[in-house]
Structure 1
Amino acid sequence: MKLSIIIVNYNTYTLTKQTIDSVLEKKLPFEYEIMLVDNASMDDSMTRLQEDYKEIIIQGLLNITLNDANLGFAKANNIGMRKSKGEYLLLLNSDTYVVEECLEKCMAYIEKDKQIGALGCKVILPDGTLDHACKRGFPTPRTSFYYFLKLHKRDKVKYGLYDALHLDENEVGEVDCLMGAFMLMPRYVLDQVGLLDEDFFMYGEDIDLCYRIKEGGYKIMYYPEASIIHYKGGSSKKRRTKVIYDFHNAMWIFYKKHYIKTYSLWINSLVYVGIWTKYALEIGKNAMKSSGNKSVQDTKIQQNESV
């Protein structure tokens, strides 16, 4: 088995089906399998998906795991990877669409260089712009400071480390990290550095894995000659408050794991306060937005009742 594609589903029937179909409709020149892991979806998505793909499930092309609880992105992906058989493993988000020849091009490129520990393609948003998270730098205090002050608008090469702006979006090259929406990795690399860190529930696990892959002496490659479309959202839109917490908590988990011993108590304290102040601001902004939406809905109801 050449390639195992790991997809995690959580209440996203339409998006997940689109992602699977975007793979199945291609005539790939190598043997592959799709490992679909469901995180205890509360809708009927898995009942429908099992019915849609019953023939290829019987054939063994699609393997399904049904978790009893929402275990998070990292743990669910790890379950799929442990059950898989491929020489190469691809983490693929359930809200993506695989563009023509993407998988063939990525496999051909990564197989040429045994020093590549992870490869990511160009990730395009529905409006045609680049999803900047598909190539980025590690979030050190310095790079994060530059990013939040928007200094990259003044000099993208000097200050654009956070989004790896030194590398053009159409240029093949090494970066610090990729996004978990599309990460292609050799199994022998993961055998050496380990799978996703399950301390991360959602967000941050991809950055952490890239960090460990680079520590293991391997390259992280951005390969824009292949691409996917990222519809971004899916299950995360349904739990906005928890998503905000998971994002900021992931930032702190990553910092504690990799940087806290490197920097002074003063810097560590500043980072901690900065992360959780930003969290509080995002929660406040979200609450105001929800309140505004409710006011609009109440107004519409009143208007309808008066008619």
Structure 2
Amino acid sequence: MEKLDAKQDDHDAELTVIIISYNTVGMTLKAIKTLYANTHDTQFDCVVFDNASTDGSAQAIAAAFPDIKLIASGQNLGFAYANNVVAAHCTTPYFLLLNPDTETQAGAVDALMSFARTQPRAGIWGGRTVFADGSLNIASCWAAPSLRSLFFRALGLSTLFPRSAFINPETYGRWPRDTPREVDIVVGCFLLIRRSLWETLNGFQPKYYMYGEDSDLCLRARAMGYRPMITPEAQIVHHVGASTPRNVEKAILVMKARMSLIQDHWPRWKVGLGLCLMWVWSALRFAVTRPFAASSHPRRRASAERWQTLWSKRRTWLSGYDQA
């Protein structure tokens, strides 16, 4: 892995944009291109950390953007640890974590920086995300998992009533992300944070190898009195999950991350209840989908196989990420 200088020379930059890439060469190039094309009022540096991609990402980025800082890792360090490595060597007042599968729209970064200056109490800021067709992607922010949200999720009611703020509180109900609002969690695909707060929090917890690291960061900031916010004035396109296809391995990591958030942020007396609800959630879906294991319908059969694997590996994800 290329080594960073002791401290990056940030010149007059106010912001460092950090992109962690992994096997998304075309999208990563587009993410960098749109970042520079649509940011006009903010002086920023961009650092791309390539997590041992096998699709020629590092070479293509170096050829297309020779002036940006590129670190080509010889091994996949995961999203959390890679961000920590880059951030440790940057001195700008703000960091912006930007996914490689995003496209920055006009003025998005400028608007986000302006919003941060007017809302310093937030500490962490995010914007509005849309899909490639322009439709709303609600996954720019979430509410923290709760006993209520896990209870309704375990029973399948959050799937039946996805837009109910009471039954599905983690999605904030019908709110279309068209107004500034305080949120529990700003998603790491487009997350702005003050460097001083990042350093106080010691960045991401490395145990969150993939998924959950942004939730943990925001919840730790909230525990200190900060109130993360998002603004609709800063909008990006997010091609969700391009570097992590939907498969059983991803699902296990997501479940592990959720269990770790319960362990790390719930009162001790609630943790056992959370574990039980996660167990019930997977048990019911395993039972419901099991009859489709031999189905001729590919999607039904795939769902059955997925939940069968998740159920068989429940001990793995119910323990959460390692505490080390």
1:70 lines up with 2:83 in the alignment: no
1:235 lines up with 2:243 in the alignment: yes
Of all paired residues, the percent bearing the same amino acid is 25
Q: For the structure 1 residues 27 and 227, does the alpha-carbon distance in structure 2 shift closer, same or farther, using more than 3 Å as the test?
A: closer
Looking at structure 2, the residues matched to 4 and 179 of structure 1 have their Cα atoms a distance apart, in angstroms, of 18
Instruction: Give the match for residue 296 of structure 1.
Output: none
Q: How many matched pairs? A: 284
Picking from 183, 187, 212, the partner of 1:179 is 187
Instruction: Give the match for residue 42 of structure 1.
Output: 54
Secondary structure, counterpart of 1:14 in structure 2: helix
Picking from 259, 266, 284, the partner of 1:252 is 259
Picking from 118, 122, 128, the partner of 2:124 is 118
Q: For the structure 1 residues 263 and 48, does the alpha-carbon distance in structure 2 shift closer, same or farther, using more than 3 Å as the test?
A: same
Instruction: Give the match for residue 33 of structure 1.
Output: 45
Q: TM-score, length-normalised on structure 1?
A: 0.83
Looking at structure 2, the residues matched to 154 and 236 of structure 1 have their Cα atoms a distance apart, in angstroms, of 24
Q: TM-score, length-normalised on structure 2?
A: 0.79
Cα deviation code 1:65-97 (max 9, x no counterpart)? 122211111111111211222211111000000
Deviation at 1:221, TM superposition (A): 0.4
Deviation at 1:290, TM superposition (A): 9.8
Q: For the structure 1 residues 26 and 264, does the alpha-carbon distance in structure 2 shift closer, same or farther, using more than 3 Å as the test?
A: closer
Deviation at 1:152, TM superposition (A): 8.1
Q: For the structure 1 residues 219 and 290, does the alpha-carbon distance in structure 2 shift closer, same or farther, using more than 3 Å as the test?
A: closer
Contact kept in structure 1, 2:132 and 2:238, CA below 8 Å: yes
Deviation at 1:193, TM superposition (A): 2.2
Q: For the structure 1 residues 19 and 279, does the alpha-carbon distance in structure 2 shift closer, same or farther, using more than 3 Å as the test?
A: farther
Backbone CA RMSD of aligned residues? 2.8
Contact kept in structure 2, 1:15 and 1:94, CA below 8 Å: yes
Q: For the structure 1 residues 259 and 93, does the alpha-carbon distance in structure 2 shift closer, same or farther, using more than 3 Å as the test?
A: same
How do 1:157-168 residues align onto structure 2 when only pairs under 5 Å count? Answer: 157-165=165-173, 167-168=175-176
Q: For the structure 1 residues 105 and 240, does the alpha-carbon distance in structure 2 shift closer, same or farther, using more than 3 Å as the test?
A: same
Looking at structure 1, the residues matched to 162 and 239 of structure 2 have their Cα atoms a distance apart, in angstroms, of 30
How do 1:1-307 residues align onto structure 2 when only pairs under 5 Å count? Answer: 1-54=13-66, 56=67, 62-147=68-153, 148-150=156-158, 153=161, 156-165=164-173, 167-237=175-245, 240-259=247-266, 261-263=268-270, 265=272, 267-274=273-280, 277=283, 288-289=301-302
Looking at structure 1, the residues matched to 304 and 224 of structure 2 have their Cα atoms a distance apart, in angstroms, of 48
Q: For the structure 1 residues 33 and 142, does the alpha-carbon distance in structure 2 shift closer, same or farther, using more than 3 Å as the test?
A: same
Greater shift, 10-19 or 74-83, is seen at 74-83
Looking at structure 2, the residues matched to 224 and 102 of structure 1 have their Cα atoms a distance apart, in angstroms, of 9
Looking at structure 1, the residues matched to 202 and 37 of structure 2 have their Cα atoms a distance apart, in angstroms, of 32
Contact kept in structure 2, 1:193 and 1:216, CA below 8 Å: no
Secondary structure, counterpart of 1:133 in structure 2: coil
Specify the code of the residue in structure 2 equivalent to 1:41: S
Instruction: Give the match for residue 300 of structure 1.
Output: none
Specify the code of the residue in structure 1 equivalent to 2:47: M
Contact kept in structure 2, 1:35 and 1:84, CA below 8 Å: no
Secondary structure, counterpart of 1:232 in structure 2: coil
Secondary structure, counterpart of 2:123 in structure 1: strand
Secondary structure, counterpart of 2:191 in structure 1: strand
